[in-house]
Every structure is written in C-alpha cells, then in structure tokens.
A and B are shown apart, each in its own frame.
Chain A
C-alpha cells in the first residue's frame, strides 16, 4: 500500500528559512535510508505559500482565487513523501527514525490505488471507512 507523508509548515518554512546544515544532512541521510530500503517512491519540498494560491468555489459557477501567503500555517504543508509500505505501522516506525526537530508535525494518509476500489478494497480500508461513517 502507499502512504503519503505530509510535512506541516511552520513559520520558518513559510519564511523560506532553510533548516540548519545538521538537519539538512540528517534529512539527506534519512532519505537515502528510505531509498536503500526500497520504500521511497517520491518526495519533494514545497515552496512557501507566498508563491502559491488558493482556489475556492463559494457558489455554483463561481470561482475565487486568492494569492498566498496564507497566515494560518497550521494546516499548510511544506513537503510531501510517497512511500511504498506494507502497513501504517511501517510508516510510523520509519518516522521514528527521522531527524525531525521539536515542534515538527506530520500527517500521514493512505493513498487510494485503483486496485483498491470495489471488491479489491483491503479489509483495513473497509473497516476504517465503516468506523468513520459511524461517527458522522
């Protein structure tokens, strides 16, 4: 299965401040470990939201575009990875080995694969969907 790892933004990443040399080196090494383990599929950093935009659909036939930066950096994303793993727990184990500093926040989400649809949906997905539905 595939998981997307979203690295949340913080004021530094939004300001375009690069992490320290130690962290960059450690990150590079961590990425190498992921490649060596055959887990890494893709991964990139995002430019700060000042270079971005937000597109909203407030009403039918209406579209608004707002240029960045976006003040509330809590939900913003600074980078992403795509990993090939056997389970969610494997993602978490790898993240335990990552060099993220204090205050770092990441969101991990399973990626739908076309083979996941219909009868091929894994039992885990179906179970989790059922749980979510029961909460709504």
Chain B
C-alpha cells in the first residue's frame, strides 16, 4: 500500500481511536469488545481508503463501520443461540433504534465517554502493569508492538497482558461508568498513578538507549493534558501535568553525550526546554488556583518550578523548596522525600541542619541499600570540612549503585 496513505491512516487513528473506542464501549458496555470493533473498523479503513482516499470525516466513517460490525456481531451471536432465534428481528430493530438515538447523543457525551474509558482502563482490579498497557493501547492509540518496545518486553507479553486485562474487566463485571462520588478520589489517584508510571518509564531511562523512550514522556504528557481538559477543576490533574512538563523540560540537559548523568544543579539551563517550562508553570498556576492546600503532585511540581524559575543554580530559592518539602513530608511522607528534604534544608539553612536530618535516616531499613543516602551525607560532610568521613561515604555510595557511570562519578568524588 502507498506509504503516504498508510501514514495518513495512522494519523487519523491517533486522533480518532480513543473517542471511537469510548463511544463504542458505551454502546456495547464492554471495553474489550469495543476495542475489537474499533480494530475491525481500522482494518476496513486500511482496505478501502488507499483506493477511495481518506474520507472527509474519518471519525464518522470509522464509527459507522464499527457500529455495523456490532450489529452484525449481535445478529450472529443471537442466530447461533436457537432459543432466541425468534427474537432476532426485534433485537435488530431495537439495536438500530438505539444506535440512532446514541448517534444523536454521542457528540454531547464524548467527554464523559472518554472519562469512563480512562477510569475503566485504570481500574484497581487490574495490576499496575495491566493498567499501563491497556491505557496506552485504548487511550494512547499505541500498537502492541510500540508498547512492547517502549517497555523493553517481548510483544507477545504485552499482547497477553492486554487480553488478560480485558478478560479480567469482563469477569469482574466492571461497569462502563464514572466512579461514584465517594470512590472518585481513590479512582482518580489510580489514573494519575498510571500516567506518572508511564512518564517515569520514559524519564528514568537514560539517553543513549532506544530513542523511542523519550516518546513515552510525550505520551504521558499527552494523556495528562487530555485528562486536564476533561477534568479542568481537579487541582492534582493540573499538578501532575505541571510536574511532567517541567521534568520533561530537562530531558536534553540530563545526560552527557557519553551517557553520564548530569545533576540538576550542574545542568546547562540553556538546554532546558522553555516551551515545556512555560506550559508547566501555567499548569501549576491552575493547580494552585483550584486548591487551598496543594496535593502531592502539585507540591512536587512546585518544587520543580522553583528550579525552573531559577535562571542559574545560585538563584535557586532553597528556602521555598525546603518549605515545600515540609508540606510534602507531612502529606505523603516517605524516606526518599525526607532525604530530599534534608538536601533542601542543607542548602537553605546550612549543612549542619541538613546533616541532622540525614543522620535521622541512617537506621531507615528501606534506605539501607540506597546509594543516594551516603552520597548526600558525603556532600554535607565535605561542606562541613569533614573530608575523611566524606570519602568513606562516597566509597560506600559507589559500592551501592548499579549504574557504572554513577559509580565512576562517586569514586571520583571519593578520590578528590
């Protein structure tokens, strides 16, 4: 087939597929079936459009084709069940009437259907991996192959994961509905967690590997923005978008051409992406306007924003960052947050204050093998002039990290 038509169809799919699946899911009340019907419509497009050209309203063409398949399916299923043969005709006309009524309603409810689809694909009955794969598939419009490459697992693994996820939803009779108000905070939390998981998969992968991986950050950002447009009054959604945008702004500055990681404070800020920073700050502003107290994502975004606003490392408002970590530590405490707080406090109020907080973490079991703990301690000891002790810490940190380049960096610090 012509390359250009194929690429046009891919583009149409990227624009239309989520809405198509969402609309079908409401009709057939089964996300798995909806996706199958959508895929059938895509196949039909791949067959017809190279000849006929891409239609003027490709979304409508796909929906009409999928709906016809749905009715055919129903007819076939019903015909196979002898007990219901006589009901066929009635069901068919009922189905067509329903389809027509739904057609009329579809434009108004597109937003709600998309939300239902997002909440369903992130349902807590599914494992986090399943939620990620299903979300990227149904809402991101990624092919199984693209998802597999992004997560560095074989394609059949992802294919199975998605099949099992659909089956789990069906067997658990998960309704295609918005969560009840009482459940909403937890369910929204699950959605945000999935999106941030996708983002981190792309962000933490060091450059020098497959260039597809930064694409995951883009996918996550896109999903976040879509959600923000669907739920404009939710502070934490804007908070997550802000956090991802500002973190992504640093992607080009984080790694040397040779692959070594560059610490934030050492990064060339001229390589930070200003478009993303501006977007992130705007999203953070919305998050702040919508809540009296910021949630964990907005707080992390506010911390990232402090760095983004500082034109040079020296201009960083460490006191503000320390205060934000105080808030984050009381809202979503964790040893890692506490360690980051210690760093900020050290920068804002002097290394002795920071060391006090770090020392309180030395007995923390979850940090026992975390190389950043001795690394941070080493930093603070250097600033206090306790170089011999610092050397021991850097050596310890080097022995704990699995990243060869990071180890080299830490050993270098131990030697100097």
Contact of B211 among A37, A38, A122 (CB under 8 A): A122
Chain A residues positioned under 8 Å from B271 (CB to CB): 114
Chain A residues positioned under 8 Å from B257 (CB to CB): 118
Interface residues of B in 1-21 (CB under 8 A from A): 4, 7-8, 10-12, 14-15
B15 touches A84 (CB 8 A): no
Chain A residues positioned under 8 Å from B56 (CB to CB): 96
Q: Tell me if B378 counts as interface (CB < 8 A to partner A).
A: no
A93 touches B8 (CB 8 A): yes
Q: Tell me if A26 counts as interface (CB < 8 A to partner B).
A: no
Contact of A82 among B211, B225, B226, B275 (CB under 8 A): B275
Shortest Cβ distance from residue B80 to the other chain A in the assembled complex, whole angstroms: 39
Interface residues of A in 78-105 (CB under 8 A from B): 82, 84, 86-87, 89-90, 92-94, 96
> Which of these binds chain A: B94-102, B176-184, B216-224?
B216-224
Q: Tell me if A115 counts as interface (CB < 8 A to partner B).
A: yes
Contact of B221 among A84, A94, A114, A122 (CB under 8 A): A84
Q: How far is the CA of A100 from the CA of B114 in the complex (A)?
A: 28
A115 touches B252 (CB 8 A): yes
Contact of B279 among A39, A41, A120 (CB under 8 A): A41
Contact of B226 among A2, A36, A90, A115 (CB under 8 A): A36
Given contacts A84-B218, A87-B7, contact A38 B225 (CB under 8 A): yes
Shortest Cβ distance from residue B231 to the other chain A in the assembled complex, whole angstroms: 12
Q: Tell me if A42 counts as interface (CB < 8 A to partner B).
A: yes
B252 touches A90 (CB 8 A): no
Q: How far is the CA of A27 from the CA of B218 in the complex (A)?
A: 25
Q: Type the 1/0 row for B223-249, where 1 means its CB is closer than 8 Å to any CB of A.
A: 111100110000000000000000000
**For chain B, what secondary structure do more than half of its interface residues adopt (helix, strand, loop), or is it mixed?**
helix
Shortest Cβ distance from residue B190 to the other chain A in the assembled complex, whole angstroms: 20
Q: Tell me if A53 counts as interface (CB < 8 A to partner B).
A: no
Q: How far is the CA of A90 from the CA of B54 in the complex (A)?
A: 13
Q: How far is the CA of A2 from the CA of B222 in the complex (A)?
A: 13
Residue of B nearest to A93 (CB): B11
B223 touches A38 (CB 8 A): yes
Q: Tell me if B207 counts as interface (CB < 8 A to partner A).
A: yes
B224 touches A38 (CB 8 A): yes
Q: Tell me if B214 counts as interface (CB < 8 A to partner A).
A: yes
Contact of A35 among B14, B214, B229, B252 (CB under 8 A): B229
Contact of B273 among A87, A89, A90, A114 (CB under 8 A): A114
A42 touches B278 (CB 8 A): yes
Q: Tell me if A22 counts as interface (CB < 8 A to partner B).
A: no
Q: How far is the CA of A35 from the CA of B232 in the complex (A)?
A: 12
Shortest Cβ distance from residue B146 to the other chain A in the assembled complex, whole angstroms: 10
Interface residues of A in 49-67 (CB under 8 A from B): none
Shortest Cβ distance from residue B244 to the other chain A in the assembled complex, whole angstroms: 11
Chain B residues positioned under 8 Å from A120 (CB to CB): 207, 211
Q: Tell me if A113 counts as interface (CB < 8 A to partner B).
A: yes
Q: Type the 1/0 row for A21-38, where 1 means its CB is closer than 8 Å to any CB of B.
A: 000000000000001111
B11 touches A87 (CB 8 A): yes
Q: Tell me if B329 counts as interface (CB < 8 A to partner A).
A: no
Chain B residues positioned under 8 Å from A92 (CB to CB): 8, 11
Interface residues of B in 32-63 (CB under 8 A from A): 54, 56, 58
Chain A residues positioned under 8 Å from B224 (CB to CB): 38
B252 touches A37 (CB 8 A): no
Given contacts A41-B275, A42-B278, A118-B257, contact A93 B12 (CB under 8 A): yes
Q: How far is the CA of A98 from the CA of B10 in the complex (A)?
A: 19
Shortest Cβ distance from residue A28 to the other chain B in the assembled complex, whole angstroms: 14
Q: Tell me if B251 counts as interface (CB < 8 A to partner A).
A: yes
Chain B residues positioned under 8 Å from A42 (CB to CB): 275, 278-279
Contact of A113 among B221, B222, B223, B252 (CB under 8 A): B252
Chain A residues positioned under 8 Å from B15 (CB to CB): 37, 90, 93-94
Chain A residues positioned under 8 Å from B225 (CB to CB): 35, 38
A37 touches B11 (CB 8 A): no
Chain B residues with a Cβ under 8 A of chain A: 4, 7-8, 10-12, 14-15, 54, 56, 58, 207, 211, 214, 218, 221-226, 229-230, 251-253, 257, 271, 273, 275, 278-279
Q: List 10 A-B contacts (CB under 8 A).
A: A38-B226, A38-B229, A41-B279, A42-B275, A84-B218, A84-B221, A93-B58, A94-B15, A113-B252, A115-B207
Other than A2-B275, A89-B11, A114-B273, give 5 A-B pairs with Cβ distance below 8 A.
Answer: A39-B222, A89-B4, A92-B11, A94-B15, A115-B207
